[in-house]
Structure 1
Amino acid sequence: MDSADALAGSDAVAAQPHTHGARSPPPQPQLSPLRNVTVNLSPPASPTHHARASGELIRAEHVERKSHSRKIRNEARTSYNEILRFRASVIPRVLLPSLLHACWATLWTVLYMTGKVRWFVIPPQLITILGVVISLLLVFRTNTAYDRYWEGRRMWGTLVTQIRNLARFAWIGVITKTEKQEIEKKGLMNLLLAFAVATKHYLRNELGHKYADLHHLLIHLPDFQPGQRYPVIKNLPLEVSFHISSYIAACRRDELLDVSQQTAMTNALSSMIDCLTSFERIRNTPIPMAYSIHLQQSLTLYILSLPFQLVSLISWGTIPVVAIAAFTMLGIDAIGSEIENPFGYDENDLPQEEFCRTTREEILRVIASKATRDPGEWGAPYIEGNAEDVAAMLRAKESQGSLEGITVTVA
């Protein structure tokens, strides 16, 4: 099977993954191959193609001034619909505890207002003292969780960058001489994407390789072909990296790469392994249990003590105030728990499917493009101003003893 067909094909063997949670993962999207990929965007070069002619060509060409792209993921949302949004919020996790605390406040408020029990009143100064301590604990908890979330996102960015670099080094730097070598190079493109997809499943504790978005990327390897009884590998991304490293060594042995190219590709692969190790550190190192337990105990005691401190000041207003305080503080704590492991299927987890989909599209574009790009085929660039104008500007600056301020616009 040609590796390019395996990458673009959608008839993969889709075995159901075995997960250890109550929530089943969503079905993997079936992606269609890219179509209408434009390879050559420049006009053919000719000896008489001058810069001024390029300028006339640009002026004659209709240029779209406004780009239409997909919505940027981190665009600021100013809609008030976010206030009422239930999905992706922590309301499901904190609603019941907040209601229980409101019932607790209602009980003691009724007892106080009816005059049956009034011995439990506590000076309200404790709100300030305990509130500062609880706030510091919550801030530290949330910041620590967000650092883990952001570290995971940063590592995914580094991983995608190194996959791009390795794909560029291999597709442009490895000059194949036979059809077999061309097939092997396309197989490497499959393995680069397989590393990203296998990392996604590995971080979700989904072992094996028989997934709709992964199996066809490894099917060109002898051990992963249909009918082979290959044992389940716990760390499939590391196994894929062994095959990538073997390809780099084979290219060097066949003199398809020089030493500098081999070093650059090996460094990119090593950086990918570093990202995998960082992912494992984030996933396998939870918040210390003692800190988590103490925070929960302190937060619960603080909210339970609020009715005793507020009822003598705001009477019936104690009930909504305690409910709002419980919702706010428990929500902040729930946010920390939600994002400290950002590799799952939750709405607030990292969009790993999107990372893999973007990588897949880029790999497909690489395979659809030419492996050789000769600068001799370039046309003349568009330069604002002719050669005489630029020479006059340079002479004027040289006479002043400085070349600062010269700006040549190249489109």
Structure 2
Amino acid sequence: MAEETCTHLSHGHRFYQKFRSTVISDIWPEVLVFTLVAVAVVIVSELTSTSLAVSSQMLTVLGTVLGLVISFRTSTAYERFAEGRKLWTNLAAGSRNLAQIIWIHVPFDRELDADKNDPEAQSHLKVIIEKKSMINLVQAYSVSVKHLLRGEAGAYYTDLYPLISFLPRFSTDVHKATKEDILPLWKASGMKFSKFKGIHTTPHVSNSPRSESTSLLGTCEDEESMDSEKDAPRGFRMSMRSPERAKTYDPEAVLPQLPSENPLRPANDPPYGGLLDYIPFVRELRSPKRQHLVKLHRTSTGKKLRPKSAVSNVPTEIMLFISAYFVSLMRKGLLTPASATAMNNAIVALQDTVSNLERIKDTPLPFAYQTHLRMSVWLYLLFLPFQIEGSLKWVTIPATAFTSFLLLGFLEIGQEIENPFDYELNDLDLGHFCHAIERELHEITAHTTPAPDSFIFNEWNQPFAPADRRNAKAMMDDVEHAYHGVDSGMYHIRKTLLKSWRDVDSMTRHKRS
């Protein structure tokens, strides 16, 4: 019985999420207003001696013009949405390329420390820690970009802080540091000057109710922040995933668990989206604290607020450390010219990608254009019942409602996908993209970078198939074979490869009847 109840709740939650992904909740007040206007026009015209019908000559012309303008508006918004997705693909590719260069092209073998008891082990361990730490910074770069695009300033997040906590906080020795010595990265994060005294611990609690959405929340000693957590309405930090998956899906659990001088905010912190949010002016009846939380997302009329730009330099600061590492490798002569060029190009590509992402986020369509278009649609829908009542009679009411739903829906869709980096269900899933980058970077560091001789010349490799299906080890051991001939060896090898081509060409072509 309990399982059936949970199943019904899960289906209800998914239905509510799907409903929120539509624009019905955003346009229904306007549709209702224009439908009521149509009801009034029809009642007066049909039940009284006064006819409100007017000529419909302008209907076709204005409708065609508005249709073209709305289509252009929606297409422009979708282009921004698609470009944002392409840029995140570039960000993932740049992160992957940079990590591969660091892990493979930066040599593992360096000068050994003769003072250590086991110099080789110490040297290799030190190099691997160095390279893995820098790849963690590459991972942190995409995460910091996610928070930047969502207007979330600072570095104290459960998915970001564990990756960059080792970076220096001060420009001088920590024991001599003052408030003026805090580096820009931590200054922008609102770091409280404590010289690391009284650091908050951030233990991971996997099955607590609050951990489903917040994962790692630092122990907060600030009474005001604790009160804000208690007073937050239900669902304020509700997870966007299904209840079944929330029990096992906890991506922040794989990150380092380190103490923090400030409480950590959740990796994903969508604004509260209760049912009353979609009823205009009802939100004003909430308590002042809850009203403040809701106003972060919508106006009193129910319209969504555009997220504010974050005054944050976290991605820039992270890239400065990665660039400093690149300069250090160059100074030590650890990169070949080709590898150095590739690494520099990867760094530049990442920075260019973030600049383009910020351009999409911070460049909305001109206010005058949006306002004029919306007012034109409103005027068209306002006079629509007067123009069609003479021919449609009572059908004018559903016809007006459908037309309002159609035009206002396309207009709202264009406005919603204009900024594809927020928490709306129609926005890009930036968290999923960051997790994909994280998986790829960990896959790269799991590679042992063995020497080619250790895996090519073994029993599991048949390089000359299908013409010669012997494995590489057998071919190398058979020194009497024609392949090993001083003068004729290359001839026989080419002959085998040519036969392989003929076999592949004939056996893979589909004969059409």
TM range (shorter): 0.7 to 0.9
Q: Provide Cα deviations, 1:120-170, integer angstroms capped at 9, x if missing partner.
A: 322223221111110011011101111111111110000100100111111
Question: 2:87 aligned with 1:131, yes or no?
Answer: no
Amino acid at match of 1:134: L
Please point out which of 360, 363, 376 is paired with 1:298: 376
Partner of 1:96: 29
1:353 is displaced (CA, Å) by 0.1
Gap change, CA 1:169 and 1:283, over 3 Å in 2: same
Distance in 2, Cα, partners of 1:408 & 1:285 = 55
Please point out which of 154, 159, 164 is paired with 1:208: 154
8 Å CA contact 1:342, 1:350 repeated in 2: yes
8 Å CA contact 1:310, 1:318 repeated in 2: yes
Q: Provide Cα deviations, 1:283-336, integer angstroms capped at 9, x if missing partner.
A: 111101111111011100101111011111010000000000000100000001
Question: 2:50 aligned with 1:117, yes or no?
Answer: yes
Residues 6-405 of structure 1: pairs in structure 2 closer than 5 A: 85-118=18-51, 120-176=52-108, 177=110, 178=123, 179-223=125-169, 229=182, 230-232=186-188, 234-378=312-456, 379-381=460-462, 384-387=465-468, 391=495, 394=498
8 Å CA contact 1:252, 1:259 repeated in 2: no
Distance in 1, Cα, partners of 2:453 & 2:36 = 75
Which SS does the other structure have where 1:95 is aligned?
Answer: helix
271-280 or 253-262: bigger deviation:
253-262
Distance in 2, Cα, partners of 1:106 & 1:151 = 43
1:253 is displaced (CA, Å) by 1.4
Distance in 1, Cα, partners of 2:83 & 2:153 = 24
Tell me the number of residue pairs that the alignment of Structure 1 and Structure 2 aligns: 322
Q: Provide Cα deviations, 1:10-46, integer angstroms capped at 9, x if missing partner.
A: xxxxxxxxxxxxxxxxxxxxxxxxxxxxxxxxxxxxx
Gap change, CA 1:272 and 1:396, over 3 Å in 2: closer
8 Å CA contact 2:467, 2:497 repeated in 1: no
Amino acid at match of 2:188: V
Distance in 1, Cα, partners of 2:384 & 2:347 = 56
TM-score w.r.t. structure 2 length? 0.59
Partner of 1:10: none
Q: Provide Cα deviations, 1:28-72, integer angstroms capped at 9, x if missing partner.
A: xxxxxxxxxxxxxxxxxxxxxxxxxxxxxxxxxxxxxxxxxxxxx
Which SS does the other structure have where 1:240 is aligned?
Answer: helix
1:369 is displaced (CA, Å) by 2.2
1:383 is displaced (CA, Å) by 5.6
1:385 is displaced (CA, Å) by 2.5
Q: Which protein has greater RCO, CA pairs closer than 8 Å, 6+ apart?
A: 1
Gap change, CA 1:108 and 1:367, over 3 Å in 2: same
Amino acid at match of 1:380: N
Q: C-alpha root-mean-square deviation of aligned residues, in Å?
A: 2.9
147-156 or 124-133: bigger deviation:
124-133
Which SS does the other structure have where 2:187 is aligned?
Answer: coil
Amino acid at match of 1:97: E
Which SS does the other structure have where 1:186 is aligned?
Answer: helix
8 Å CA contact 1:149, 1:342 repeated in 2: yes
8 Å CA contact 1:159, 1:275 repeated in 2: yes
8 Å CA contact 2:464, 2:500 repeated in 1: no
87-96 or 382-391: bigger deviation:
382-391
Gap change, CA 1:199 and 1:404, over 3 Å in 2: same
Distance in 2, Cα, partners of 1:169 & 1:408 = 39
Gap change, CA 1:173 and 1:85, over 3 Å in 2: closer
Unaligned 5+ runs, structure 2: 1-13, 111-122, 190-311, 469-491, 509-513
Q: Provide Cα deviations, 1:166-202, integer angstroms capped at 9, x if missing partner.
A: 1111111011232333221111111100100000001
Which SS does the other structure have where 1:222 is aligned?
Answer: coil
Unaligned 5+ runs, structure 1: 1-80, 398-402
Partner of 1:27: none
Which SS does the other structure have where 1:86 is aligned?
Answer: helix
1:248 is displaced (CA, Å) by 1.1
Distance in 2, Cα, partners of 1:408 & 1:163 = 40
Gap change, CA 1:380 and 1:393, over 3 Å in 2: closer
8 Å CA contact 2:361, 2:419 repeated in 1: yes
Which SS does the other structure have where 1:263 is aligned?
Answer: helix
Gap change, CA 1:383 and 1:405, over 3 Å in 2: closer
Gap change, CA 1:221 and 1:169, over 3 Å in 2: same
8 Å CA contact 1:384, 1:408 repeated in 2: no
